[in-house]
Amino acid sequence: MSKGVEEKEPMFSLKNMKLLWGPLNRNNPVIVQILGICSALAVTAKLKPAFVMAVSVTVVTAFSNLIMSCLRKGIPNRIRIIVQLVVIATLVILVDQVLKAYVYDVSKQLSVFVGLIITNCIIMGRVEAFALGNKPWPSFLDGIGNGLGYGLILIVVAIVRELFGSGTLWGYQIIPQWLYEQGYVNNSLMLLPPMALIIVGVIIWIHRSKNRDLIEK
């Protein structure tokens, strides 16, 4: 490994910032790598749980990357995946416990999906693809970046779904009452998981049409 060169790199070098911001756009885990779709469908019917989910996933990706990167030189290759799972599962349980203790209401809404962060492909994907071959700091940034990239899509989808599905945002009524009196109806299709998939599809469409080089041949 080429140690000497990397160690002199400043903490917020251009390369490191790319790790942080790349996943928000050109390297987005959800809309470019199509990872983590399952939970994006499940928790985006309302904005608040989507936000808490986004924060939880960001914490887990960041710290699992950090821990695995610190451990990377000592891990026996044959039980590598098991070690990753144990680290990720531990972090997820900690997050779940903290949510239950401090934001009990939201934790109840997210119910099983917090536990299911363990199976989120983004987390294991980043650990396997990045953290095992990179230093702790870049791995940590990469984890935060990917968590935020996932969270961004979650929040966009949740805004659309809650606004048009329930007429509210973060639980507050947005669509005015007079519109309902004029005959406007909430679109309950928005609340169903397939609609989340369609919205993600539309986001991918818009994103690809702005980044033509990402289109597969």
Q: Is 183 in the site for other proteins (CB under 8 A)?
A: no
Residue 143 contacts residue 126 (beta carbons within 8 Å): yes
Residue 168 contacts residue 162 (beta carbons within 8 Å): yes
The neighbour count for residue 60, using CB atoms within 10 Å, is 26
**Which of 24, 70, 93, 116 is the binder for other proteins (CB under 8 A)?**
93
Q: Is 77 in the site for other proteins (CB under 8 A)?
A: yes
| Nearest to other proteins of 97, 211 (CB atom) | 97
Instruction: Determine the interface stretch with other proteins among 24-32, 106-114, 147-155, 209-217 (rule: CB under 8 A).
Output: 106-114
End-to-end distance of the chain based on CA atoms, in angstroms?
35
Structure tokens at 185: 């109806």
| Nearest to other proteins of 32, 37 (CB atom) | 37
Residue 155 contacts residue 50 (beta carbons within 8 Å): yes
Instruction: Determine the interface stretch with other proteins among 14-22, 41-49, 127-135, 138-146 (rule: CB under 8 A).
Output: 41-49
On the 0-12 / 13-18 / 19+ scale of CB atoms within 10 A, 142 is buried
| Nearest to other proteins of 112, 215 (CB atom) | 112
Q: Which residues bind other proteins (CB under 8 A)?
A: 45-46, 49, 74-79, 82-83, 86, 90, 93-94, 97-98, 100-102, 104, 109, 111-112, 165-166, 188, 191-192
